[in-house]
Each structure stands twice: as C-alpha cells, then as structure tokens.
Structure 1
C-alpha cells in the first residue's frame, strides 16, 4: 500500500495553481476584496442610517426602503408586509438605495485615487540625481580628452 502512494503524482495544474495563488498580485487582490467588504458595510450604514433619513426628510418623510409598487397581490403599507403576503413588487426604494450606495462608493474611490495621484506626483517632483553617463558618453569624453591632449603636444612652440 505504501508503495502505491509514492507513485501517485499530482496533476500539473496543481503546481501551476499553487504558483498562481502565491503571486503577490493575487494576495493584493485578496486584501482588496476584504477591505472592500468592510468598506461596503460602512457605506451601507452611511446610506441607510444617514443619507436616507436626510433625503427622506427633504422630500417629505418618504422612507426609501418602503418605496415599492405592487404588481400583483394585496397593496400593503410596508414592503416587508407585502412580501410576507406573497405580493409581487417592484422595489423602487431598494433600487434607489443601491444607486445611492454606488454613487457614494464611486465618490470615495474618486477622492482616494485623486489623493493617491497627488501624493505620487509630489514624490515624483523631488529632485533626483542625474543618471550616470552611458558607456557611449564616457567613451566620447575619453576620445575628446585624448584629442585635446594630442593637440597640446603637437602645438607649435613659440618662444
């Protein structure tokens, strides 16, 4: 039995998959997804608990989460009651919440990218040492210096 296990080889794609998972950009992506999930819960709370009440107050006390159109079934006061009764509804308020959440996330990403771009530009503005001369430039300087030295040696002496 032990001899049989030593002859079993993993398929080639297992090694490729392991190499793919261990790449830095995959790890960065995983971190981004985790941060995005945490950021989503913050944005959901911001929309639900801060913006929706303010917008509802501005437009006459309408609660977006209960803004719906009943297509079939009983017409009830809240979306939760309508769904419990089995009504078919168009959930306009929930859609508006999703649009508001998207706009908030897009605005936050816009400002974050803008700040990072500004920070990156400032880093680029710092003075840098000039790059070392290329091999061609060094060789041309040596030729120039050699020619200048030869011209001094061959110049007629006045005296």
Structure 2
C-alpha cells in the first residue's frame, strides 16, 4: 500500500494530472472560441461553419468526409492558438531567462576540434591558429 501511495504522490504524476485537467479545460475553451467566432467567420466566407453533413456514397455506404474536415479545421485552429498563445511566449520568456554563457572554446579552423579560445596551436592537428580578435569598445 505504501508503494501505491508513493506512486500517486510522486511529483511527475501530480504534474501530469494537473496538465491533463488544464489541457482539457483549455481545449473546451478553444472549442467554444471556434464555435462562437471562427465557425461564423467560415460561414461568411464558405457558406457553412459545420461541414459534418458533407458525404459521398459508394455502393450504398455513406462516407461522411465532412466530419473529418470539421475536426481538421478545429485541430488546426487549436494547434495555432496553443502555439501562438502558449508555446511562442514561453519560448521567448525562457530565452530571456537563460543566461548567455561566455564561450571558453572555439573550433580549430583546420580540423574543427574544439580548442581553448586563447590557444595559438591546436592540440589535435598541431597547426598554428590565430587567436580571435577581441572586439574593442566604441568610444
């Protein structure tokens, strides 16, 4: 029983459960947005916001391809909203938070082995290399 408790209260499992609940709530929010705003906009352009009635029949069997079209449009819109409202801002925020570490090595121009920045000779190919010039401060 204690192993089951440890499994349930591990950090990753709790975080995953929270992510699933938030994801479901976010999905319903985006679906409502699509149904309330995007669907009517599609209806203005294409005449129908819901393509679920579109189908073709082969030998008496009905293939409702419109259901797939409606789901595809909804998926593309949800993916775009998630990307532009969640992924892109988080990526930019993380880029700002990560400190740019000063490089301590550079590639040898002859053999492309990593060598210290101030090295005058490559330790692998023993070729002489020039030290990179340091930028001077503008006055």
TM-score greater than 0.5 by the shorter chain: yes
How many positions carry a matched residue from both structures? 100
Specify which structure has the higher proportion of helix.
Answer: 1
Aligned-CA RMSD value? 2.8
User: Is the 1:48–1:97 Cα contact (8 Å) retained in structure 2?
Assistant: no
TM-score by length of 1: 0.52
Provide the C-alpha distance between the structure 2 equivalents of 1:56 and 1:90, rounded to a whole number of angstroms: 23
Flag the 1:35–1:114 CA change in 2: closer, same or farther, 3 A: same
TM-score (norm 2): 0.58
Distance (whole Å) between structure 2 residues aligned to residue 50 and residue 17 of structure 1 = 46
For structure 2, the 5+ residue unaligned runs are: 102-139
Q: Hey, what's the Cα distance between the residues in 2 that align with 1:54 and 1:88?
A: 32
Please identify the structure whose Cα radius of gyration is greater.
1
| SS of residue in 2 equivalent to 1:51 | helix
User: Structure 1 35/19 Cα, relative in aligned 2: closer, same or farther at 3 Å?
Assistant: same
Instruction: State the partner residue of 1:53.
Output: 40
Q: Larger % of strand: which?
A: 2
Q: Which runs of 4+ in 1 moved over 6 A?
A: none
> Which structure 1 segments of 5+ residues have no match?
1-13, 73-86, 128-159
Deviation string for 1:17-42 (max 9, x for gaps)? 32111011111111111111111111
1:107 aligns with 2:80: yes
Q: Deviations over 1:125-159 (max 9, x none)?
A: 489xxxxxxxxxxxxxxxxxxxxxxxxxxxxxxxx
Q: Which has the higher contact order (CA 8 A, sep 6+)?
A: 1
Between the aligned partners of 2:72 and 2:51, the Cα distance in structure 1 is 13
